[in-house]
Amino acid sequence: MKAVVSGSYDPFTLGHHDIVARASQLFDEVIVAVGVNLGKQTMFDLDLRVEMVRTAVAGFDNVSVAAMEGLLVDFCREHQANVVVRGARGGADFEAEWSMAMMNTSLGEVETVVLPASTSVSFISSTLVRSIARAGGDVSPYVPSNVSALMQKEL
C-alpha cells in the first residue's frame, strides 16, 4: 500500500522525520509531498524545502520526495496513493487533522492515518524552529543535520 506524508516542511524537523520513519515501517511505499500552502509565507523556497526533505530521508529505501502544488487529493490520485499519513502533537492538532481527513475523504476518497508525535519530538514545530533561526539561535537539536547545514548556508 502506498501512502503520502504531506506538509510544507518549512523547515523539515525531527518531528517530521519521526513521522516519515514510522510511516515507512507501516506502508510499502511512502511519498513525502512537499507542498505549497497559499496561506503561509515560507522562509525557504519550494526547491530548497524539497532538497532538505530529500536529503533527510535518503536512508529510507521505500520513501521518495515530490513537490506538490494544488490539492492533496489530486496529488494522491496522480501518484495512486489512497492513504495520507499525518502527525499530531496534541489535541488541537488532532482536531485540525480530523477536519482535513473528512474533507479529503469527501473530495477524493482518501483515508487519513494520524500518528501521535513521539514524546521526544512532540514539542518541536516548524514555527518555533523558524523563530529560533531568525533570532540567530541554534536549530540543530530540532532538525536533521543536513537541514541545519542548509539553513545555516541560507540564512
136-155 confidence digits (pLDDT tens): 999 999 999 999 988 888 77
CB 32 within 8 A of CB 64: yes
- Among residues 46, 63, 57, the alpha carbon closest in space to that of 9 is found at 46
pTM above 0.85, yes or no: yes
Active centre residues (catalytic): 16, 40, 89, 126
pLDDT at 89: 87
Per-residue pLDDT tens over the stretch 92-137: 877 888 888 888 888 878 899 999 999 999 999 999 999 999 999 9
How far is 19 from 147, CA to CA, in rounded Å? 16
The Cα 63–Cα 31 span in angstroms is: 6
Spatial neighbors of 17 by CB under 8 A, at least 6 apart, are 56, 57, 144
